């Protein structure tokens, strides 16, 4: 069996030495240049990395793709992959802690005057009189989590420690943890939006979730609320968010993910007051590579033993 590693943002190839020791019967190859992948993938049984339609068409004997990302919408946009027999596994669960901490960090940056303080420091301006009267704490606030997968669950656990009330919805029937006040189905989305002080979008991008948070949905939220799009671009209407902020119908918002990515330098979104834009970085941690490799190793063990399904094996019909 031949396993091909493509270039990844978390440098997964640094684990190849350990992988060769652990799986001596497996041939591992690393192809650092995207331009060379079309040739290298022709003899690969397993691929670890990002996939394009052109690259997939060159993969004559591929049996399994391990995504280093939790989301797999870009993989499933390849018709031959979505309809075919090649297994696809995600890195779901590896980015939950980082995403949860980044989400809370974003909320605190607004609530505790940290964003404003950065700019005031650059101006050498002491701002106690301006900032202290408007600072907020999370105690007693309601957090609405749209999508209760690994990320949503990690976020709920941490938010409860801040004394927040937790509401969540998910498409799957899940047991409600004690620290969650209500865990409902998607038909409760409007209730969640209207009741929450903070709404966090933690869904995968699928045909069912694309454009889910429209201008009409945003209009249900409190003017004092904050909306955070943290999972995938295309779920939240970015233009509607901008209008709501400009018109004072939302207190603040954050876009960790957007459409397109990278966000063009000339996009008007960069200049929207009370909108924090981060560059799809929230899943990163010092443990990210280790988490992804752990999933890959477990799956390679299963693959070699013929023990299916694999961990995080994607349901191509469901989209995750």
> 23-35 burial, b for 16+ CB within 10 Å, e for fewer?
beebebebbeeee
In sign, the C-alpha dihedral spanning 211, 212, 215, 221 is: negative
CA angle at residue 245 from 239 to 249, to 5 degrees? Answer: 110
Catalytic residue ranges: 232, 261, 280
Q: How many Å apart are CA 295 and CA 160, to the nearest integer?
A: 28
Helix axes 96-111, 150-161, angle to 10 degrees: 40
Distances in Å between the Cα of 295 and the Cα atoms of 71, 92, 213, 264, 310 are 15, 9, 32, 34, 9
- Please provide residue 46's backbone torsions phi and psi, each rounded to the nearest 5 degrees: -135, 140
**Residue reference for tokens 């919408």:** 73
């Amino acid at each position: 069996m031949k396993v091909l590693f493509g270039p990844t943002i978390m440098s997964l190839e640094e684990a190849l030495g350990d992988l060769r020791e652990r799986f001596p019967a497996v041939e591992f190859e690393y192809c650092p240049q995207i331009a060379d992948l079309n040739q290298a993938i022709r003899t690969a049984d397993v691929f670890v990395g990002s996939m394009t339609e052109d690259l997939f068409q060159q993969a004559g004997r591929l049996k399994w793709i391990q995504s280093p990302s939790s989301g797999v919408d870009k993989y499933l946009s390849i018709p031959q992959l979505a309809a075919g027999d090649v297994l696809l596994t995600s890195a779901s669960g590896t980015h939950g802690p980082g995403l949860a901490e980044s989400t809370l960090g974003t909320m605190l940056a607004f609530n505790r005057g940290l964003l404003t303080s950065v700019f005031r420091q650059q101006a050498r301006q002491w701002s106690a009189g301006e900032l202290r009267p408007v600072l907020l704490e999370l105690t007693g606030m309601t957090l609405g989590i749209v999508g209760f997968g690994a990320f949503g669950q990690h976020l709920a656990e941490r938010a409860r420690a801040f004394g927040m009330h937790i509401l969540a919805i998910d498409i799957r029937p899940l047991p409600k943890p004690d620290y969650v006040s209500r865990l409902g189905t998607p038909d409760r989305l409007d209730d969640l939006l209207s009741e929450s002080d903070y709404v966090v979008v933690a869904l995968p991008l699928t045909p069912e979730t694309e454009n889910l948070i429209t201008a009409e949905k945003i209009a249900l939220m409190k003017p004092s609320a904050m909306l955070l799009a943290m999972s995938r671009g295309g779920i939240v209407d970015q233009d509607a968010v901008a209008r709501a902020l400009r018109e004072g119908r939302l207190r603040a918002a954050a876009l960790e993910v957007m459409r397109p990515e990278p966000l063009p330098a000339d996009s008007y979104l960069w200049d929207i007051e009370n909108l924090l834009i981060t560059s799809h970085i929230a899943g990163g941690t010092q443990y990210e590579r280790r988490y992804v490799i752990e999933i890959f190793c477990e799956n390679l063990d299963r693959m070699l033993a013929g023990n299916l399904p694999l961990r995080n094996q994607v349901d191509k019909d469901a989209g995750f």
